[in-house]
Amino acid sequence: MTVLCAWSAQAQNKNYITRVFDFMPAPGQFVNNSPEYHVGEPRDSVMARVLQRLGPEIQVIPIYDDDDNQIGERTVEKPVTGRLISLGAFGGYVIFGFDHPLVNVPGEFDLQIFGNGFGSDSLAVAGGSSEPGIVVAGVDMDGDGVPSAGDKWYELAGSEHSNAKTQKDFSITYYRPDENKTPVPNPNNSAITDMEYVRWTCNSTDSLTEGYVARNKFHSQSYWPQWTDADSLTFSGTKLRCNAVDASGVGRYYVQYFFDWGYVDNRTDYDYGIGANSTSSEPYSEAVRKGYNLGFNLDWAIDADGNSVNLTKVDFIKVYSALLQDCGWLGETSTEVCGAIDLHPDAPIPADPVVRGDVTGDNTVDVSDVNTVINIMLGKASASDYPNADIDGQGGIDVGDVNMIINIMLGKQ
């Protein structure tokens, strides 16, 4: 996997995004435009443009002496540019990181991720343009610095997590369209030029299991990410309930209602004075009253079974579009990301915890730990490679350590 880093020679603990690990939008009207795709360019080039949009803006400022003669220049980095990327329909995602682990500071927001959601400040209305994306935190289990198969991911559960209409095991497959086929327009809406553009199938439990991402007259480029040769794209995750209502009743005016908290591009963002939006002049208490997105807390992390997880630090952040929804001439609902900041870049980075019974160092206690101890006993592995193998503290590696691991697994220790 290619990792794109910005200004790696600079000091650590920058509060802005410095790495983009992956970007794969689902089909949508802004795909190949945000960021722009150039014909024939490779994936790495697209990734670099994503980093340019999400990372800092570099400004070179001249330095003058007392006689107004330029004597040099200095470089200034603006933490968040506000230039957006679009993730397309459900499942489209971006994975990014900072130049250091993101630390969980107890009781505080740890991260702010910016979108372009907006709408009424009135809690009675609580709607406008809301295209929520879910945040997932990744832990680099193998220490290789990039997301890989052995790493662990934890969803940050927002306000809709326990809603009966939230589908936790949702999966959808999109199929590459024939760009030369005869379009099927919507006879009731001149803005929609192809109702059957990108076909999809899914395992929905509350709506259709097949349908299309329609094409509109406002965006005529291909909606399929052109840097991939794949004939189909499959995405999985948590799907939120639809939040859009046709307030006009005739397809002219759609309102996308806010969810309470915990999603990107859901509400107006509070930027703490250094972000993409223009809310920094407002007192924090006023932002709270108006229901702004104040950030994301690693304390919200849950595992695949929905259990709370105590994360001390994370290495990767993933954001993906969480709705499968069409709004007529407005098109599909697609999460936009405009940058992110670490709210505590100088927080001390905690040491990796030692999990009792974890011989292999993957922060879990399972049969692999038992097998490793047995291999040490049989001479098939070296005890020096596994400093935590002496589970019972008796100074040797023997059947007592095996029994203790099994008891830990069974909850008896």
For residues 394 and 311, state if they share a domain: no
Which residue, of 327, 342, 357, is where some domain finishes? 342
pLDDT of residue 6: 36
> How high does pLDDT run on average in the chain?
87
Residue 157 lies in a domain: yes
Residue 116 lies in a domain: yes
What is the rounded distance in angstroms from the CA atom of residue 274 to the CA atom of residue 284?
14
C-alpha separations of 184 from 200, 231, 247 in Å: 16, 21, 26
Number of domains in the chain: 2
Q: What is the pTM of this model?
A: 0.82
For residues 165 and 64, state if they share a domain: yes
What is the rounded distance in angstroms from the CA atom of residue 319 to the CA atom of residue 114?
11
Residue 7 pLDDT level (bands cut at 50, 70, 90)? very low
Residue 272 lies in a domain: yes
For residues 253 and 293, state if they share a domain: yes
For residues 291 and 379, state if they share a domain: no
For residues 56 and 15, state if they share a domain: yes
For residues 242 and 328, state if they share a domain: yes
For residues 270 and 232, state if they share a domain: yes
Residue 133 lies in a domain: yes
Residue 254 lies in a domain: yes
Q: Is the pLDDT of residue 78 over 90?
A: no
Residue 9 pLDDT level (bands cut at 50, 70, 90)? very low
Q: Is the pLDDT of residue 48 over 90?
A: yes
Q: Is the pLDDT of residue 275 over 60?
A: no
Residue-range definition of the domain harbouring residue 396 = 367-409
pLDDT of residue 210: 97
For residues 338 and 372, state if they share a domain: no
For residues 123 and 178, state if they share a domain: yes
For residues 167 and 237, state if they share a domain: yes
Exposed, middle or buried: residue 348 (CB in 10 Å: 0-12, 13-18, 19+)?
Answer: exposed
Report, as an integer, the average pLDDT of 382-398.
Answer: 85
For residues 319 and 374, state if they share a domain: no
Task: Give the tens place of pLDDT for each residue, 313-341.
Answer: 999 999 999 999 999 999 999 999 999 99
Name the β-bridge partners of 108. none
Task: Give the tens place of pLDDT for each residue, 164-185.
Answer: 999 999 999 999 999 999 999 9
What is the rounded distance in angstroms from the CA atom of residue 48 to the CA atom of residue 58?
15
For residues 321 and 376, state if they share a domain: no
